[in-house]
Structure 1
Amino acid sequence: MVARQVEEQIGQRFPLGQRLRVLDVGMGQGSQALRLARAGHAVTGVETDSGLLTAAREVLAREPEGIRDRVRMLQGDGRDTGAHFLPGAFDVVLCHGVLMYVEEPDPLLAGLARVLAPGGLLSLVVRNADALALRPGLTGDWRGALAAFDSVHWTDPLGVTARADRLASLTENLAGIGAPLSTWYGIRVFTGRASAADTAPPEDLETLLAAEERAGRTDPYRQVAELLHLCGVRG
């Protein structure tokens, strides 16, 4: 779903067929980076985890030469962009599922904005701090639900404590780094929680995705999504 939203934003903001310079910070195993490279864009992926970086390189090695030539992979952190890239080096900067593991997001956001060209697209996927009480509430964990109202921290499936962000705060932060919020979506409005959506049969998958996509664009549903996808545009 995030991939479709990224493609939608690229299609709205850049001429059809333009070969974009893309930076994917925290690229994981490189699925988003490869998708964009297959679409003709030049992609640089940055990942701190050496295991994920190795896996991404192995996947890339199986791609045709033309696609391999469009992808560069580095081990590093989005906060040290100044050590690797010139200011304004990228038309699109992706940072999906990374801010939640950074206790102080401002240096990372500043580093991302620094390498974003004028008119460039900054795409963030974060945990929604305004909806942290929903999961424990829907599973009957009332003590956890009450605690979540006053917290911006949560525990991921691996038992790691992570941080969530509030839409209002990130909107302010994006304006402060010169890439004000242009569009935002909700991700996992119905899925990802204790609900019938989690056990939907395969034949219902397309309908489920259609419902999720509609909810992710519609108030008030998107406001209680588990994740938020925010798109800022460099002035």
Structure 2
Amino acid sequence: MARQLDEQIAGRYPVGQRLRILDVGMGAGTQALRLARAGHTVTGLESDAELLKAARESLSTEPAGIRERVRLIEGDGRETGVHFLPGSFDVVLCHGVLMYAPDPDAMLAGLARMLAPGGLLSLVVRNAEALAMRPGLAGDWAGATAAFDSDVYTDRTGQKVRADRLDTLTSALAGIAAPLHAWYGVRVFTDGVANDVGLPAAEELERLLAAEDRAGRTEPYRRIAALLHLCGVRG
């Protein structure tokens, strides 16, 4: 996702422009810190106290110039209007968060309002059209059969959450004046890898990432990815 996001940023903004970025549901801050190191001003919004603490601890080890570019706030994506004025950001990230929102349309509309004209909204969601892939590849035929007709899945923490469809989100983005500009598949080949499996050696990891990146841009592979990365642009 980082490579895809960098591609979209580079395609929309002049080289060297320091962007105002909002990372909604930033987790432990990995993406926020990466973007701050690249020179951007980043605001991280996170509702989980433990993840927010981890992000603050990671930020504390960074040089002063990077720390000055990062602001961390406790809150969630439904509260953007409480914390920020409309049009406050050039880029809004909502990665792995929308599936937990009880009213995703309202949340999306709120995120879009945070964007300046021409701003980029980056979403990462679970792909409802590929829910049968994980149980099917694991030999769970009953689970695969049930997944064909479902928009709900169990995440890696055991929580049941919503998956989204490309067509539905395309319509939603058009409705909030941030129409779809580009989309990618994420985790085409690696969704079934267990959490406790370590990374391969550097050379093998680079081959893996290259294969995933190409599959995520190529039909029909990207349509069976576990996740979808959608980029909308504010009109």
- Give yes or no for TM over 0.5: yes
Distance 1:143 1:58 in 2: 44
Distance 1:84 1:199 in 2: 39
Task: Name which of structure 1's ranges 103-112 and 174-183 shifts more when overlaid on structure 2.
Answer: 103-112
Point out 4+ residue stretches in structure 1 off by more than 4 angstroms.
Answer: 198-201
Q: State the one-letter code of the partner of 1:209.
A: L
- Secondary structure (helix, strand or coil) at the match of 2:208 reads helix
Structure 1 residue 193: deviation in Å? Answer: 2.0
Q: Which residue number in structure 2 is paired with residue 22 of structure 1?
A: 21
Q: Which residue number in structure 2 is paired with residue 43 of structure 1?
A: 42
Please show how residues 127-206 of structure 1 align to structure 2 within 5 Å: 127-193=126-192, 201-202=200-201, 203-206=203-206
> TM-score, normalized by length of structure 2?
0.95
Distance 2:199 2:20 in 1: 38
Q: State the one-letter code of the partner of 1:94.
A: L
Q: State the one-letter code of the partner of 1:227.
A: L
Give the alignment's Cα RMSD to 1 decimal.
1.5
Identity among equivalent positions (%) equals: 70
Q: State the one-letter code of the partner of 1:220.
A: P
Deviation per CA, 1:45-73: give whole Å up to 9, x if none.
00000110011001101111110000000
Consecutive unaligned residues of structure 2, counting only runs of 5 or more, are none
Distance 2:148 2:50 in 1: 35
Consecutive unaligned residues of structure 1, counting only runs of 5 or more, are none
> TM-score, normalized by length of structure 1?
0.95
Deviation per CA, 1:135-182: give whole Å up to 9, x if none.
111111111111111111111121111110000000000001110000
Distance of aligned partners of 1:199 and 1:90 in 2 relative to their CA distance in 1, 3 Å threshold: closer
Distance of aligned partners of 1:91 and 1:199 in 2 relative to their CA distance in 1, 3 Å threshold: closer
Q: Which residue number in structure 1 is paired with residue 226 of structure 2?
A: 226
- Secondary structure (helix, strand or coil) at the match of 1:37 reads helix
Structure 1 residue 199: deviation in Å? Answer: 8.6
Distance 2:77 2:204 in 1: 38
- Secondary structure (helix, strand or coil) at the match of 2:190 reads coil
